[in-house]
Amino acid sequence: MIILLQYTQMCEIVVNEANFVRKCISAESCQDDLWGKLVCTNFKVSFITHNSLPRQRFQCTHRLLGEHDIPLACVEQVVTVNDVKGKQKILGSNQKLKFNPTELILYCKDFRIIRFRFDEAGPESAKKVCLAIAHYSHPADPQLLFGFEYVGKRYHGSTGERVNGVDPGGGMQTTLFDCSSDWDREIKRTGASEWRVCTINQGYFISPSLPEFFVVPVSLADQDLKQYACFFYSQRIPLWCWNHSSGSALVRMSNISDLQQQRKVEQRISSAITKSHPLRSDVFKSDLDKNLPNIQDIQAALLKLRQICVIDPFEESEEKWLSSLEMINDPLYSVCVCTEKEDRDLSCVISCLVQLMCDPHCRSLHGFQGLIQKEWVMAGHRFLDRCNHLKKNDKEESPVFLLFLDCVWQLWNQYPAAFEFTEVYLTVLGDSMWVPIFSTFLFNCPRQRAENSRDFASSKSIHLGQDQALRFPPVWDWSQQFSLKDQTLFNNPLYVGKIATCVQNGTVKTFTHRRSKKNYSSTLRGLPSALRNGSLGPNDTLARRNSLVLRLRSDLSQVREQQETPSERFIRDFFSRPVDLQGLLLPQLLPSHLSVWKLYFLRWVPEAQIPQGGPITAFHKLSVLTDEIDMLQNQLRQYKGAGGTPNNLHAEHSKMYFKATSTPHQPPAPPEYLSSSFPFSPVGNLCRPGILGSPLSKFLNGAKIWLSTETLANETI
């Protein structure tokens, strides 16, 4: 009854199910396997069991997905196996299955591999549920995605009123950039006085993939923009992204398709951008198509990473595993005016990274969400195609947004106190791509969202009223997925914002963060004078063995003799100063400074978890400490206001997930199961041979990953 009620509330339809199914917890059958019912709905694959697994005390609870649920959009591949006949088949939409499956393997886009056994299930029901999963995970049309059914029935009644009083996105602080006033505020925030909001694309009259409102130079008239639009790919005329306090602007644009008009149009556009700068500085351009990998290269890199971290057994030598990892480690950091053929993929990555490194507002939670909304959602990144929600064209699939989140994590990992959000937030944001009920990651552009929502509303007789389109909730309304308690995991206790409070001599004071005079640890500083990734400068100090340093001395002497360029001098000077968390942040690009985003890529590997160890335990202790400091500050404020010791202090709502104190008469809490997969539960989500003693095992336990196995055996650190 509870399950059916949940389906009704979620507008889910049960498509098929099979009883007496066993979910495998380990690579081989064991007594810890779970028994239950395997259900396929129009939204997810769900395993319903009465058994229970050890649960983390602080584990997140997703409001739309249970512990054993997989969104259909997250299913990458459906594989059926028959042990007796030795057959295996990859299932797609509307395919037939000639044998009765004894096992089902689901390969997921979030690196999970999940196995179900049908030893006790009826053969026909097993076959039907496998075919249903394969079919519903390959929808033929965007309107068959569950998001349309969810929004149509959850938020709109027959007369267009809001159902249950819910206004999707209501009360959010994140700027959506779907109206001219949002762009006006951004112009004022960045001081871009020589730029204006343009409205010529209202109704998507000029370009089908651009938003209805965007920003252009003041000196460019609407009539000129209409005239130039036809010369650009997909009519995507230059878009303003951001202004630096110096007056420099960041602009992105597609390539000019008409080669005969290229020189004339480029001169006119460049002249207008130059006029927007106080010093009339020249325009610097960077062709991303020439300087960066294409979308196929990015997809191939993700597949290699999946093979290294998930699918293939870790039986290779350590040097081979690490060299394979280095082959896919191409950091994409640049500061430039971006040009790309259609300005919809890597230009999104670069423009966002520039703003993250230069603008502290973009490193706040709502600033970061507004940045994604502006540079990805409204600018027309092809989320529908790149996420391959419809499984129509594998050549269009590419994890461009995941690459961006990985780059953000690398920067976050080097400057954790500069970001208001945590690693958990970035991981959850990456997962949200596979819960396609949010407009953020569901469409290729705003126009596609508007057209499909109108068509769907018409087919379902949904009265839209003044909206003229279904109001899909943006992913930034996190209450759709997590409780307020779970959302506190997004708060970074290390964050140093522009303004903070402190108690000094019993008085509450505010202070603005200033540059510290103390030198920071070498783990955060010390990028060599040579700017090229992987090269070493004379002052480099890496935690490597002496034997390896001796081998590199000849390379060091060559670096010393090289002439230092202005950009290299700037980098050297930048890293010689203490870091300013409210100023420019430059990433360190040496291989020793880059690391694997373990919480995202390795969280579903049970053998790769570190119980009671690693950065998660550190985060736990730091959260408790921060919460205790905040509690003491509140008590001091109350003490000063009351003129004495405060009485009847009630425990306030904790800003952190871990409370410093517990209330009296509190029932015994379940034990803490903290591991490097926190706040996710990896148990039973991935089945594979053990990796004890493998290179990955050594890496996760702190071994120096660049050393060979022979060196590890013969030398001491």
Binding site: what residues are annotated? 294-295
Task: State in Å, rounded, how far the first CA of the chain is from the last one.
Answer: 60
- Whether the CB-CB separation of 513 and 498 falls below 8 Å is answered with yes
Beta bridge partners of 500: 511
Residues in the chain: 717
* Residue 269 φ/ψ, nearest 5 degrees: -65, -45
Q: Which of 232, 233, 253, 231 is nearest to 241 (CA)?
A: 253
C-alpha to C-alpha distance for 217 and 235, rounded to whole angstroms:
17
Binding-site residue positions for substrate: 294-295
CA of residue 611 relative to chain centroid, distance:
25
Helical H runs in 392-532?
Answer: 400-414, 423-431, 446-459, 484-487
- Whether the CB-CB separation of 237 and 253 falls below 8 Å is answered with yes
Give one DSSP letter per residue of 552-576, joined into a string: THHHHHHHHHSPPPHHHHHHHHHHH
Name the residue type at position 243.
Answer: N
Residue at token pair 């395993």: 47
CA distances from 628 to 484, 509, 657 (A): 20, 19, 12
C-alpha to C-alpha distance for 342 and 257, rounded to whole angstroms:
10
- Sheet (strand 34-41) strand order: 69-71, 44-49, 34-41, 14-23, 113-117, 103-108, 75-82, 87-91
Q: Which of 41, 30, 105, 121 is nearest to 73 (CA)?
A: 41
